[in-house]
Amino acid sequence: MNKALITSTMLLTGASLLASLGLQATPVDDALVIDGELEITTQVKAPEGHALKELYSGWRYRTDETRAIEADSFENPGMLGVEQGEEIWNTVEGSEGKSCASCHDDAAVSMKGVGAQYPKWDADGNKPINIELQINKCRVENMGAEAYKFDKGGQKPLTAYIKHQSIGMPVTVDLSQGDMQKWWEAGKETYYLRTGQLNMSCASCHEKNQGKYIRADHLSQGQVNGFPTYRLKQNKLISLHNRFRGCIRDTRAEFPAAFSDTLMGLEVYTTWRGTGLSVETPAVRQ
């Protein structure tokens, strides 16, 4: 059968069903401009070697209401977390009597662009490092404070604050540093590995079926450019590794520890899969 015919028939049945439910399939055609001034790139051509041709931010798959909340920084509840992060940035902690600001001054200057370029290679640790782990490194090595436990203490708000300084800037990951390419490859394997009793991989949902509904959920490309994101369903900021673990758990599999080598590889790879999309932190999702 003619491929166009199949597609249009599928679109027809899908669209009529969705219209009856008041839902919209495939990424919506809409532009994100925050507070009427900051333009966010939510669609971009994929880098070479990518399984998808066109990349879309998860924002393009959300409802009109959810998209409107992200477009207005006063309405965006994630901004409260960012403000909390700013307080932590300026708070002295640990035996050295220092805050983040003691070394880095004004984050609007020193952290601009930083969040858009992580994860990056950490020669000391001989592995990739993300913002959360860089914060812990500074706390231990420069402040004489304890490392934050996963998702605890100020980890989410401070990460959101730092990433927010790069809002609107394109995500890039430098694979030429250290062994980044190897971690990218390991991450790719994880991405395509079918797991659990349901026997599904990230690609089963976010590559093969992006744009379709799985029950009430509109499947996006699983892009990571908005993390930590504010999830309306859970009423709080959600970290990237929490989201990874949740998606793997949903396949009825054992899930790896946060910041484990497996999930760090996955972060390197999925960040690359969103190359060129703007940082949206704190994005708003359902």
Partner 1 sequence: MTRFLSMLCGLTATLAMTFAMANTIAPNDVTIENLGIAESLTGVAGDPAEGRKIFMSKKLGNCLACHANKDMADQQFHGEIGPSLDGVASRWKAEQLRTIVVNAKAVFTDLTVMPGFYSLDVGANIREDLIGKTILSAQQVEDVVAYLATLK
Catalytic residue list: 247
SS3 90: coil
Residue 136 binds to partner 1 (criterion: CB under 8 A): no
What's the rounded Cα separation, in Å, for the pair 133 and 137? 6
Q: Which of residues 232-251 bind ligand HEC (CB under 6 A)?
A: 243-244, 247-248, 250-251
- Which residue type occupies 40? I
- Which residue type occupies 148? Y
Residue 216 binds to partner 1 (criterion: CB under 8 A): yes
Residue 19 binds to partner 1 (criterion: CB under 8 A): no
Residue 25 touches which member of partner 1, ligand HEC, none, C-beta under 5-8 Å by kind: partner 1
Residues 6+ apart with CB under 8 A from 129: 118, 119, 120, 121, 122, 137
Residue 251 binds to partner 1 (criterion: CB under 8 A): yes
Residues 6+ apart with CB under 8 A from 264: 119, 127, 128, 130, 183
Residue 253 touches which member of ligand HEC, partner 1, none, C-beta under 5-8 Å by kind: partner 1
Residue 145 binds to partner 1 (criterion: CB under 8 A): no
CB-CB contact of 219 with 209 (8 Å): yes
CB-CB contact of 11 with 211 (8 Å): no
- Residue numbers at the binding site for ligand HEC (CB under 6 A): 58, 200, 202, 204-206, 214, 217, 219-220, 222-224, 226, 229, 243-244, 247-248, 250-251, 266, 270, 283, 285
- Residue numbers at the binding site for partner 1 (CB under 8 A): 13-14, 17-18, 21, 25, 193-201, 204-205, 208-209, 212-216, 251-255
